[in-house]
């Protein structure tokens, strides 16, 4: 499967980028600060198959650059919040695309990837 088309230098997949642009005005402003770093890290993770350094370079950019002279707790909290928001957006997209309830999607993900 080919990687998703990229829209910007920061590695935002086009489908997700367009979804982020459709959020309500109040949410858009808040999410604009947290989603791009989360998207960059997750996109790098999915595209780093044979080169784990690609992923770790993205993590360094997202966490390391803002930490210089910044608050480590706030930087990590922003990334965590961004990943959570991204998860919610993707869960909604998957449920809508498959015609299933979000709880069913989460149960399938848990069973397929987290249950041992």
Torsion, Cα of 32, 36, 42, 116 (10° steps): -20
Q: Name 46's Cβ contacts closer than 8 Å, sequence gap at least 6.
A: 3
The pLDDT-based confidence of 66 (bands split at 50, 70, 90) is low
pLDDT band at 6 (very low <50, low <70, confident <90, very high): very low
Calculate Rg over the CA atoms of the chain: 15
- The mean predicted confidence, pLDDT, of the chain is 76
Q: What is the DSSP string of 53-107?
A: HHHHHHHIIIIIHHHTTS-HHHHHHHHHHHHHHHHHHHHHHHHHHHT--HHHHHH
pLDDT for 103: 92
pLDDT tops 70 at residue 40: yes
């Amino acid at each position: 499967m080919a990687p998703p088309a990229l829209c910007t230098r920061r590695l935002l997949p086009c489908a997700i980028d367009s979804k982020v642009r459709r959020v309500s005005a109040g949410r858009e402003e808040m999410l604009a600060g947290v989603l791009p770093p989360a998207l960059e890290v997750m996109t790098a993770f999915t595209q780093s198959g044979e080169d784990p350094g690609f992923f770790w370079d993205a993590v360094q950019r997202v966490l390391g650059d803002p930490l210089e002279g910044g608050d480590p707790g706030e930087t990590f909290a922003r990334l965590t919040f961004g990943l959570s928001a991204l998860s919610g957006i993707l869960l909604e997209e998957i449920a809508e695309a498959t015609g299933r309830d979000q709880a069913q999607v989460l149960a399938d993900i848990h069973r397929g990837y987290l249950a041992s």
